[in-house]
Amino acid sequence: MHDTAVLLVEIGAVLFALGMLGRLGRRVGLSPIPLYLLAGLCFGHGGLIPLSASEEFISIGAEIGVVLLLVMLGLEYSASELVGNLRAAAPAGIIDGVLNALPGVGFALLLGWGLEAAVVLGGITWVSSSGVIAKVLGDLGRLGNRETPVILSVLVIEDLAMAFYLPLVTAVLAGLGILGGVQALAVAVATVAAVLLVALRFGNAISSFMSVRDPEALLLSVLGLTLFVAGVAARLNVSAAVGAFLVGIALSGPVAHHATEILTPLRDLFAAVFFVFFGLSTNPADMPAVLLPALGLAVLTAATKILTGYLAARRVGIALPGRLRAGLALIPRGEFSIVIAGLAVASGLEPKLAPLATAYVLITVISGPLLARLPDYAWFKAAVRRRMNATRRPPKPLPAGD
């Protein structure tokens, strides 16, 4: 009974603190993700108030948080939309992967961390935060801008790429070697292709088994199916997160819409627990040593993300202001970066990787939304206009006598 009382006290205190931090973040115009990570650092080992009774509960809640983050992301896209975006945005996705994964890979090799850590850090620096970026675009009133479909297409490509990247990383970190990684990748490719085929042809039939008229039954059935498929995917080394993402894609129509509404509060709850858990696994004493490397990596990959958005927007004929807005919007890293780092932490990989990833995500998720506001300032608009005028070619002089 005493242990139960301590468990309830600790969980209650953590959730209440997270609620206040989330409110504070929205007041100052920041994503709550960095505040949740900081809370985890405060409550973890080496922090101000270590948790003892609730650590196992928070660990399980963190696993559920990853699953809910990914199924909600999958619910945003139908299979046909995903395939269409993949075809249209493939060149931008390739540019994005090359420009933003290579700095992480090179950085890890430069520090002497080895090939496995390089693969992990490349993924951490590659993927932008869909949740943070979507919120920033909404807050700034840019959802209807011409460059917004370009931004979303890049994010979709990254999300789909994770369906292949996460199983490969999981296999490599599990010590299965290159052959095991190739096998895991083959299983992932076959699984994703099969799910997309089923979703395209039978998505409505799958959704028809669930009723939108009974919210309780819909909640239990969608959540149960998601956790079941995520567990099966994890057993196949495909990654629980990818399994959840594919469930979201397979559901369509009114079921997907209503499932999004009823799962949103659960996602917010367990996603907050997930970010706290990652902070718990990082000792704050390890942070100062990696702060400067994390800052340097953040500056470098902010520049590569700006270039990514610039090139992707230019490719579809968007003017300079829209290209800059697209690039600046892509800077924040978040959910997937922490998921990837969490896999590395669980495998016992390079001990400095977790504090570096935490510092890196904190820097990008705080600076990203602030930098995204730059194009709205008058001085920035004036500088862009001067640049456009300077690069505009003067008209050719008319021949004499005309």
Q: Read off the pLDDT band of 402 (50, 70, 90).
A: very low
Q: What is the pLDDT of residue 1?
A: 47
Contact 271, 68 (CB under 8 A): yes
Quick one: what percent of the chain has pLDDT higher than 90? 13
- Residue 48 in tokens: 């101000």
Find where tokens 């468990």 sit.
7
- Residue 378 in tokens: 């008058």
List pLDDT tens digits, range 69-85: 778 877 876 666 666 66
Whole-angstrom Cα Rg for the chain: 22
Average pLDDT over the chain reads: 80
Distance in angstroms (rounded) separating the CA atoms of residues 187 and 191: 6
Is the whole model's pTM more than 0.85, yes or no? no
What Å distances lie between residue 7 and 4, 12, 208, 287, 372, CA to CA?
Answer: 5, 8, 41, 28, 41
Provide the CATH number for the domain formed by 2-375 in this structure: 1.20.1530.20
- Residue 178 in tokens: 């290159």
List pLDDT tens digits, range 281-339: 777 777 888 899 999 999 999 999 999 999 999 988 898 999 999 999 999 887 778 88
Contact 328, 306 (CB under 8 A): yes
- Continuous H helices in 316-377: 320-329, 335-347, 353-372
Backbone angles phi, psi at 45, to 5 degrees: -65, 130
Contact 327, 307 (CB under 8 A): yes
Using alpha carbons only, what angle is made at residue 161 by residues 158 and 163, rounded to the nearest 5 degrees?
125
Contact 93, 154 (CB under 8 A): yes
Distance in angstroms (rounded) separating the CA atoms of residues 91 and 174: 32
The answer for residues whose C-beta is within 8 angstroms of residue 56's C-beta and 6 or more apart is none
Distance in angstroms (rounded) separating the CA atoms of residues 356 and 291: 7
Using alpha carbons only, what angle is made at residue 136 by residues 192 and 261, rounded to the nearest 5 degrees?
55
Distance in angstroms (rounded) separating the CA atoms of residues 396 and 400: 12
Q: Is residue 200 predicted with pLDDT exceeding 60?
A: yes
The answer for residues whose C-beta is within 8 angstroms of residue 317's C-beta and 6 or more apart is none
Distance in angstroms (rounded) separating the CA atoms of residues 330 and 151: 7
Distance in angstroms (rounded) separating the CA atoms of residues 253 and 249: 11
